[in-house]
């Protein structure tokens, strides 16, 4: 019984971790290197994560500077940023790429907030699926009726705890998005 509960808790923690990673890729009004985490650059025929090809720095609140380790990859990096769905316009001076982060419009903030809400809902669904799978394991196990009931109660308490955590993480992200 304890192994089922422990396994469920580990999976729920991973869901929260995945949620936070997903939220990092949502652009807010301020500069953040994590918005480039999912960008892959064609580098000698291989899709390579941008952070393995360049140093990403934030010298100002609304400016990102990308300095490639190999100057020959500058145009490929620029192309990958254009092709991404971030809506950013990189400026290439031959040595580094500078990206000004424009302030978000009210409409864009609402769209991003809605996107974050959907990601949060998907995390809640994943947590509920973990609960269902764990309850099925408990029912199929060799446990007394009382043990099954208490096991399901413990799994439900875990579920409630992690669903609340999803709400907290979402509220923080929503606040960050709606900040002007």
The DSSP secondary structure of 22-65, one letter per residue, reads HHHTS--SS--GGGGTT-EEEETTEEEEGGGTEEEEEEETTEEE
Q: Residue 15's pLDDT is what?
A: 96
User: Quick one: pLDDT at residue 180?
Assistant: 63
Q: What are the structural domains, with CATH classification, of the chain? A: 1-27+105-178 (1.10.132.20), 33-100 (3.30.1360.40)
| Model confidence, pTM | 0.76
pLDDT at 29: 72
Give residue 176's pLDDT: 87
**Segments of the chain scoring below 50 in pLDDT:** none
* Length reported for the chain: 180
> What is the per-residue pLDDT across 80-97, written as a single tens digit (0 to 9) for each?
998 887 778 899 998 999
β-pairing, 40-43 with 54-60? unpaired
pLDDT value at residue 78: 92
User: CA separation (Å) from 127 to 3, 140, 144?
Assistant: 17, 20, 26
């Amino acid at each position: 019984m304890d192994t089922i509960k422990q396994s469920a808790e580990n999976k729920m923690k991973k869901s929260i971790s995945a949620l936070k990673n997903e939220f990092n890729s949502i652009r807010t009004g301020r500069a953040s290197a994590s918005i480039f985490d999912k960008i892959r650059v064609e580098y000698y025929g291989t899709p390579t994560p941008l952070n393995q090809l360049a140093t990403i720095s934030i010298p100002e609140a609304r400016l990102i500077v990308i300095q490639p380790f190999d100057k020959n990859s500058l145009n490929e990096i620029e192309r990958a940023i254009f092709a991404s769905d971030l809506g950013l316009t990189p400026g290439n001076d031959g040595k580094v790429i500078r990206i000004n982060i424009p302030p978000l419009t009210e409409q864009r903030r609402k769209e991003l907030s809605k996107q974050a809400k959907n990601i949060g809902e998907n995390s809640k669904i994943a947590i509920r699926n973990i609960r269902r799978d764990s309850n099925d394991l408990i029912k199929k196990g060799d446990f007394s009726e009382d043990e099954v009931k208490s096991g399901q109660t413990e799994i439900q308490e875990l579920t409630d705890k992690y669903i609340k955590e999803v709400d907290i993480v979402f509220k923080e992200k929503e606040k960050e998005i709606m900040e002007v």
